[in-house]
Every structure is written in C-alpha cells, then in structure tokens.
Structure 1
Amino acid sequence: GSARHQSQFHALVPRLTPRSPEGGLSEEQEVVYRRIEEDRGKTGAKAGFSVKNPDGSLVGPWNAMVSSPLIGGLVERMGSFCRHKTTCPMDLIEIGILVVGVEWKSQFEWYAHGKLALKAGITEDAIGCILRGAPAADASGFTDSQRAVYAYAKEFHATKRVSDATHQAALAAVGSEQGLIDLVFTMGFYHQICMTLNAFNVPLPPGVPQPFE
C-alpha cells in the first residue's frame, strides 16, 4: 500500500560504486568524467548545485555514465546537445523535462531541473503546478507558450499520443518543426536519465528534501 511504498522510498540504498579520479578510473572513464566535470559543472554552478560528491564521484546520473564509459559517453553527448544545441526555447525544454520527472517520480531529476527551470524563466508557481500534476487548463504561472507545451507533455504521457489540436498549439509555441522534434527527443532522453536514477537508487545530496514522497 501507500505507507509501504513511502517506507521503501525513504530507505533507498545507492546501488552503484562511486567512481572518481581519487579511486582510480580507466582511460575511457577519465575522458567521460572530465567532460562531465567541465560541462555540467558550469551548468550546475549557475543553477546552484554541485555535480560532485565530497569523495570526488559525480552526483546524479553522471556516475553511471562514467561507470559504463562507452555508452555513457554517448549518453553524455546527447545530454550536452539537449542543453546547448537545441532549437527549442530552454524554458519549454525544461517544462518537458519536469513532466518526465513527475512521470518517474525521479528525485534527483526534479531536484536538478527544478533549479534549472527557475534559471530558464519558469515561475515557482508553474513549477509547483507541474509537481502536483495540475491540469494544463487550470495551471497558473505559465506563459501561453509554456502552457501549450505543458499541455502537450501532459497529454503525451497520459495517452501516449498527441491530438492534432495539441500538436498545433505546441508547434506554434515552440516556433518550428525542428524545435518540436528537439523537444520530443529531449523528453525521450530524460526518460532514459530517470530510468538510470531510479534503477540504481541515485541519492539526493545530503539534507535535500525529497520532492516525491
């Protein structure tokens, strides 16, 4: 039941070995580690979170990428594209990512992207609506474009399809077909990230409250 589910949430034990230069990395692992340290380190610093644990290992999904560096390096490059090269406006990208986080109840993903969404111009009110799963029509704090993309992401996850009207509204909000493709690719990518976080019980930083109970 619900109480049992909650107790399992609070007793999660991390399942991956922490990987750090201090602990010893292979050449392939070192390359991926340094790329993440350089790129995500800057992104995290701007948004107010660190990408490193005190032992030097990487937080969030990045330790998994270092642990399996060949596919992990490809995953890292996809993530870098989603952040730096997308043609979809970043506030709309972050709305899509947050909806994926709610779908998976992914603690770390919400922790990091709640901060990144604020930096991208999403209001705290809107972020709270996404966390609660508020219907798009009733949600407050969104611009018209943000609401259209929120409705798109919500409908897509609820029905696994998108109606013509919802598609057209999101297309107008994003501004181009390429931008909407980038949004869909990015949401798909963050399903992969949330699967990694949830499969391996990736923890939040110490002292950070869990967004999902």
Structure 2
Amino acid sequence: MAIQSRLTPLDEAQMNEAQRAVLNEILNGPRGNLDGPFLAWIHSPGLASHAQRLGAFCRYGTRLELRLTELAILYTAAWWQSQAEWQIHESIARSAGLVDPIIEALRQQTFPPFNRTDELLVYRVGKSLYETRRIDDLLYADADAVSADYPSTDSFYAGRAR
C-alpha cells in the first residue's frame, strides 16, 4: 500500500531558499528521502531543520545498532497504531537484521520470541516507558550495563552538513 499525502507536492522551483536548504540536508543525510513527516515539515523549514536533525540523531546517532533502533521504532509504531510509521520502518528493520517472527509479534502486540538479550532489553525499556512512564532502577542498571558494549557516537555529525 503506497503512502498517500494530502499535501501538494513540492516543486523545487517554487521553494524558498530555506526550504531548498532543508530539502538538500534531508536528501543528502542518512535518510535520503522525504518519507514520513518530512514532506509536511519542509513547508516550515525552521521546524524541518531542527526536527529532522533530532530524528536523525535519535535514529542513527545513538550507541545502538540500527537493528535495535528499528526494534524500538516498530514497538512504538505498534503501540500507537501508527500505520505510516510501521510501513516505513518494517522493511528497514528487516534489512537491519530484525527477524520476521519478532516483527510479526510486534505487529500483533504480543510478546516476541527473542533469542538475543539486547533485543529483549530494548523491548523491556519500551514496554516500561509506555505502560508506566518510568524506568525502574533494575531495568536502568541492565540498560546501562549493556550500553557499555556499544561504541560512542560523538562523531555522528563529523563530515555532515549541519
């Protein structure tokens, strides 16, 4: 099912300089497309610039592997029943190494058949945040211990336009 937009397509010739700059930043960044909210946001380049950089950092600039980031995104999409977010990220999650039985369980909002402790931990953190709005001390300690296994991301924006 193709994602349809009610917004008029952007014509680069009709964009102002700020919109063109944000468009260039998004298309030349790690995403490389205007899927999701970006088509709407680009109509407001001030919002688009800040929001897309925050989103890019949260998705690509954390210590987590993309597989785990996509697991968190799919958990969130399922929790909020966001079809657009699910459509965008399901194939990305699969390409990043998340297996089909886990993806299907997330879609059905049932407990996934995890074989990896890091995936279970991401699931536990998401579940705790959405159900209780808190991370208890034990879960925090578990997440903190696992995060030490991942490299620092201080160089996320090195060589990228800001």
Which category describes the TM-score, using the shorter chain as reference length? 0.7 to 0.9
Tell me how far 1:77 sits from its aligned partner: 1.2
Tell me how far 1:143 sits from its aligned partner: 0.9
The whole-number CA distance in structure 1 between the counterparts of 2:68 and 2:131 is 19
Match of 1:19 among 10, 25, 30: 10
Gaps of 5+ in 2: 153-162
The answer to whether the aligner puts 1:64 opposite 2:40 as a matched pair is yes
3-state SS, counterpart of residue 140 of structure 1? coil
Q: Which residue of 2 aligns with 1:140?
A: 113
Q: Which has the higher contact order (CA 8 A, sep 6+)?
A: 1
Tell me how far 1:154 sits from its aligned partner: 1.1
Q: Which residue of 2 aligns with 1:36?
A: 26
Tell me how far 1:178 sits from its aligned partner: 9.7
Tell me how far 1:35 sits from its aligned partner: 1.6
The answer to whether the aligner puts 1:77 opposite 2:53 as a matched pair is yes
The whole-number CA distance in structure 1 between the counterparts of 2:131 and 2:61 is 28
Alpha-carbon deviations, 1:141-179, whole Å to 9, x = none? 441110111011012101111222222233333337998
Q: Is the 8 A contact 1:29 1:66 kept in 2?
A: yes
Q: Is the 8 A contact 1:122 1:142 kept in 2?
A: no
CA RMSD between the two structures: 2.4
Give TM-score, length-normalised by structure 1. 0.61
Q: Is the 8 A contact 1:66 1:72 kept in 2?
A: yes
Amino acid at match of 1:160: R
- Structure 1 segment 116-127 matched on structure 2, within 5 A: 116-127=92-103
- Structure 1 segment 1-213 matched on structure 2, within 5 A: 14-21=5-12, 24-39=14-29, 40-41=31-32, 51=33, 58-135=34-111, 139-175=112-148
Amino acid at match of 1:69: P
Q: Is the 8 A contact 1:123 1:141 kept in 2?
A: no
The whole-number CA distance in structure 1 between the counterparts of 2:46 and 2:126 is 31
Give aligned pairs, total.
Answer: 148
Give TM-score, length-normalised by structure 2. 0.78
Higher helix share: 1
Q: Percent identity?
A: 30
Relative to structure 1, the CA distance from residue 161 to residue 122 in structure 2 (aligned partners, 3 Å threshold; closer, same or farther) is same
